[in-house]
Structure 1
């Protein structure tokens, strides 16, 4: 068992907000997914391969497990959530709640992004 999975198991029991998981998605090899937090059954996370040059700060949202077709939400300079797409088809009433929570916790998201990538750029 590698370090990331050991860390995940120990963090899961202590309800940590920062988990590193190894995933294998449709033959793309192992990807790493830092999970920022959960909202009910929805995961709020970003991928470690967010392109080069680094994309503007954003999160992915999917229910249950990370998905290549997750909903994408940009974080603006003012801490607002800007819906890029709703590929995971989250119902509108749930999406509004998720957006409000993401906006309320934008400092947590920005810190995790900066800790992981070392730089932040904003979409707007």
Structure 2
């Protein structure tokens, strides 16, 4: 688990075995020595979006966490890209594998004689 930084008693990190294909760039945050975390997406426009708050942080902590991610996102993304060896993709522009496959379109005229 690469820990990128510790601020205000929170650890900001990602997991080294993120899913395949690699999820969009995101941050897990937990209090030191806690097994529960919260997850935040970094969007292409620099906004931060909370995926879940399993750690149960209160609104003032969430605000502090999101501001910290925003302040350090360039360094975080750089570390992410270096670690995984590829350009970061962003949650707001990400297409799932299913969405990116051209699906056959229904054609009501197909097979009808003219």
CA shift digits 1:74-104 (9 cap, x unpaired): 0111222110000011111011011011111
Q: 51, 59, 72: which one pairs with 2:39?
A: 72
What are structure 2's unaligned runs of at least 5 residues?
A: 93-114
Asked if the contact 1:44/1:59 (under 8 Å) is kept, the reply is: yes
Runs of 4 or more consecutive aligned structure 1 residues displaced over 6 Å after TM superposition: none
Q: Structure 1 residues 98, 92: closer, same or farther in 2, change over 3 A?
A: same
Specify the SS of the correspondent of 1:114.
helix
How do 1:13-52 residues align onto structure 2 when only pairs under 5 Å count?
A: 33-52=1-20
Specify the SS of the correspondent of 1:94.
helix
Query: Partners in 1 of 2:4 and 2:53 — Cα distance?
Result: 19
Query: Partners in 1 of 2:31 and 2:67 — Cα distance?
Result: 17
What are structure 1's unaligned runs of at least 5 residues?
A: 1-32
How do 1:71-110 residues align onto structure 2 when only pairs under 5 Å count?
A: 71-110=38-77
What is residue 102 of structure 2 aligned with on the other side?
none
Asked if the contact 1:43/1:66 (under 8 Å) is kept, the reply is: no
TM-score by length of 2: 0.75
TM-score by length of 1: 0.70
Specify the SS of the correspondent of 1:85.
strand
Are residue 54 (structure 1) and residue 54 (structure 2) matched?
Answer: no
Query: Partners in 2 of 1:45 and 1:101 — Cα distance?
Result: 13
Greater share of strand residues, 1 or 2?
Answer: 1
Asked if the contact 1:58/1:72 (under 8 Å) is kept, the reply is: yes
Query: Partners in 2 of 1:66 and 1:52 — Cα distance?
Result: 26
The structure with more radius of gyration: 2
